[in-house]
Amino acid sequence: MSWTKKVLRVNLTEGSISEEPLNMEWAMDYLGQRGLATKYLVEETDPKSDALSPENKMIMTTGPLTGTIASTAGRYSVVTKSPLTGAIACSNSGGYIGNEMKNAGWDMIIFEGKAPNPVYLYIENDKAELLPADDLWGKTVWETDELLHTKHQEPQLRVAAIGRSAEKGCLFAAIVNDLHRAAGRSGVGTVMASKNLKAVAIRGTLGVGNIENPKEFLQATQDGKKVLAENAVTGEGLPEHGTQVLMNVINEVGALPTRNHREVQFEGAGKISAEAMREVREGDGRANLTTNAACFGCTIACQRVSTVDKTHFTVKDKPEYQGSSGGLEFENAWSLGTDCGVDDLDAITFANYLCNEDGMDPISLGATIAAAMELFEEGYITVENTDGVELKFGSAEALVWATEVTAKGEGFGKELGLGSKRLCEKYGRPEFSMTVKGQEFPAYDPRGIQGIGLAYATSNRGACHLRGYTVASEIMGIPEKTDPLETEGKAGLVKAFQDATAVVDSVGICVFSTFAWSMEDIAPQIDAACEGDWSVDRCLEVGERIWTMERDYNLAAGLTAMDDTLPKRLIKDIAAKSGPAEGRVNDLSKMLPEYYEVRGWTPDGVPTEETRQRLGL
């Protein structure tokens, strides 16, 4: 058990809400969250439908372990079709709202259609209602959060909302919950805006029970926590430095994409690293880092809470930004910093605040600004496009300006909001766009880390490190070290990471747990909580089933093997200029055919009938 076995269906067109039982037959094959919600999407929608049309559905979903005492088990996901990529979107977030949804008694909320006027969904346990949001439309996420808390007089209310960027059509808009956690990637916030749905506010006090074997579960989760506490990454590195511990590491191995991937090492990395966040500033005598923090139920606590120097140009006249707020993760520090050539730590921190405040994916935003900076430096964009702003690499002022106009959807910000692919196409240089399937790259360069290139090229939601984090093996030696510059064996490695991650994303726990946990640690926790026998093998088969189902969705949506590629810059045009990978490009063509083979797909990247049958698809 462990599921609440209840689904809330919200028809926004009609303004109606109904309750139905969770399809437990599907849950046995897809677990929950990412896997199960994708199954619902596949069964209920046409993959060819326009992502921003009422025909697309948006599903908020928890996993069977969400809201339990298992470490990191506070996750929820948003599953829908992406307007950025035209592929499947599944964005995962921590914070507290996943637990609140589960505590209110819901495994899943399915949004259908489009509301005639702005609305928000208010849930108090069994009670769910759509309420008018005309007064919230045009407000930021932070304002919306505050207004809903005031209106409902419920301090424990948890809110997930979209900001102004989504309303203005930014294609990489996020859904932000608990002020600074986000279902960030692939434009799930844009889909929410297209449905005239401003926010979901939840209070749940029913408790999460239904644990199949409570005593065994307590033991299994205790064992799991011990493994996390004793591991160097989850027990020390992440709580101490957060994901930012990687900034200097990835720079040293020559895989830190710099200035729109023109280089692979950044001379300013040390100034924006985890170590720099702890240094006392000249301006106010404090450090950027205020404290670390945890998402619901997490015993790792990798979150950063930061404070910008009161004398810094970004906040000196803005007292509302002078308190503590969500600090930099490695991805955001890289995209808004390194990729734009900016080494001003507080400016990057401030730009990241704005991403939380107005609901934007900072990876896509930073990478799109980086592409715009290259277009500017090469003369394809001029000051006439940018209201006179010199949009140059390294300019903290330009970074903050570009972030602000995109957040508001004003002027050139409208164009930045289209993402790097559409922006570069518009200005005639599509090869400047560092994207796969239209989604911007994260912080690892495929020239210096070969396997991650294959993971990006084959990721079902476009370029993404969280679909198959082979960096763990290629750089950190988890579970075992492979050579980052080697291509042999990477096909199998990528598949193994992709399948295992699909399981993790479907049970309600955080992928960062897998720095320490293998499936041998995770399966017993699922097994004790859920009905049925959940062996390691069964879990991994579920993972492979989910991955293949997502692939089938994408193929039905019109994507092909031609989309499993990397920008020319990385496979041909610009070899790594420095570091251990100097002279190398990514050898995708050596890995991709083998990948299709180990997946049981045809040379054209289509799952064979035999594979589908084996997986019960």
Partner 1 sequence: MFRSLQIEPEKCTGCLQCEMACSYIETGKYNPAKSRIKIFTFHEEGRFVPYTCTQCSEAWCLHACPVEAIVINETTGAKEVIDDVCVGCKVCTIACPFGTINYNQEAGTVHKCDLCQGDPECVKACPTDALTYVDADAGGLERMRAHAAQNLPQDSAQA
Name the residues that contact partner 1, by CB under 8 A: 67-69, 71, 96, 99, 103, 156, 179, 204-209, 214, 225, 229, 239, 290-299, 301, 303, 305-307, 323-325
**How far is the CA of 14 from the CAs of 9, 60, 483, in angstroms?**
12, 19, 56
Describe the strand order of the beta sheet including 108-112 as a list of residue ranges. 16-21, 6-11, 108-112, 58-62, 76-81, 88-93
163 vs 413, beta carbon nearer partner 1: 163
145 vs 505, beta carbon nearer partner 1: 145
307 vs 459, beta carbon nearer partner 1: 307
Rounded CA gap, 222 and 588, in Å?
42
SS3 per-residue string spanning 382-424: CCCCCCCCCCCCCCHHHHHHHHHHHHHCCCHHHHHCCCHHHHH
Rounded CA gap, 218 and 602, in Å?
44
Q: Which of 195, 169, 200 is nearest to 11 (CA)?
A: 195
CB of 203 to partner 1, least distance (A): 8
CB of 219 to partner 1, least distance (A): 13
CB of 159 to partner 1, least distance (A): 13
Rounded CA gap, 297 and 270, in Å?
32
User: Is 552 within 8 Å of 560 (Cβ atoms)?
Assistant: no
Q: Which of 577, 576, 599 is nearest to 587 (CA)?
A: 576
317 vs 320, beta carbon nearer partner 1: 320
CB of 517 to partner 1, least distance (A): 15
Beta strands in 425-580 (DSSP E): 435-436, 439-440
The first and second tokens of residue 199, run together, are 């926010």
Q: Scan for tokens 């390294």, then name that residue.
A: 394
Rounded CA gap, 396 and 391, in Å?
10
**How far is the CA of 226 from the CAs of 68, 220, 231, 363, 521, in angstroms?**
17, 10, 9, 33, 11
CB of 544 to partner 1, least distance (A): 30
CB of 67 to partner 1, least distance (A): 6
CB of 293 to partner 1, least distance (A): 5
Q: Is the preceding omega at residue 479 within 30 degrees of 0, hence cis? A: yes
296: phi then psi, degrees, rounded to nearest 5? -55, 125
Q: How many CB atoms are closer than 10 A to CB 316? A: 14
132: phi then psi, degrees, rounded to nearest 5? -65, 140
CB of 488 to partner 1, least distance (A): 40
CB of 142 to partner 1, least distance (A): 10
68 vs 194, beta carbon nearer partner 1: 68
Rounded CA gap, 184 and 163, in Å?
12
Rounded CA gap, 558 and 148, in Å?
40
228 vs 256, beta carbon nearer partner 1: 228
Question: DSSP string covering 498-528, please?
Answer: HHHHHHHHHHT--GGGGGT--HHHHHHHHHH
207 vs 603, beta carbon nearer partner 1: 207
Beta strands in 74-167 (DSSP E): 76-81, 88-93, 108-112, 119-124, 127-132, 158-161
CB of 524 to partner 1, least distance (A): 18
CB of 519 to partner 1, least distance (A): 23
14 vs 223, beta carbon nearer partner 1: 223
For helices 396-408 and 345-358, give the axis angle rounded to 10 degrees: 0
Rounded CA gap, 250 and 256, in Å?
6
| Half-sphere exposure (Cβ direction) of 148: Cα atoms closer than 13 Å | 33
Q: Which of 23, 92, 44 is nearest to 507 (CA)?
A: 92
Rounded CA gap, 268 and 272, in Å?
7
For the chain, the distance separating the N- and C-terminal CA atoms, rounded to the nearest angstrom, is 24
Q: Scan for tokens 């920008």, then name that residue.
A: 567
Q: Which of 171, 225, 195, 184 is nearest to 423 (CA)?
A: 171
CB of 133 to partner 1, least distance (A): 23
Rounded CA gap, 161 and 175, in Å?
6
171 vs 208, beta carbon nearer partner 1: 208
124 vs 531, beta carbon nearer partner 1: 124
CB of 234 to partner 1, least distance (A): 11
Beta strands in 485-550 (DSSP E): none
CB of 360 to partner 1, least distance (A): 20
CB of 298 to partner 1, least distance (A): 5
71 vs 352, beta carbon nearer partner 1: 71
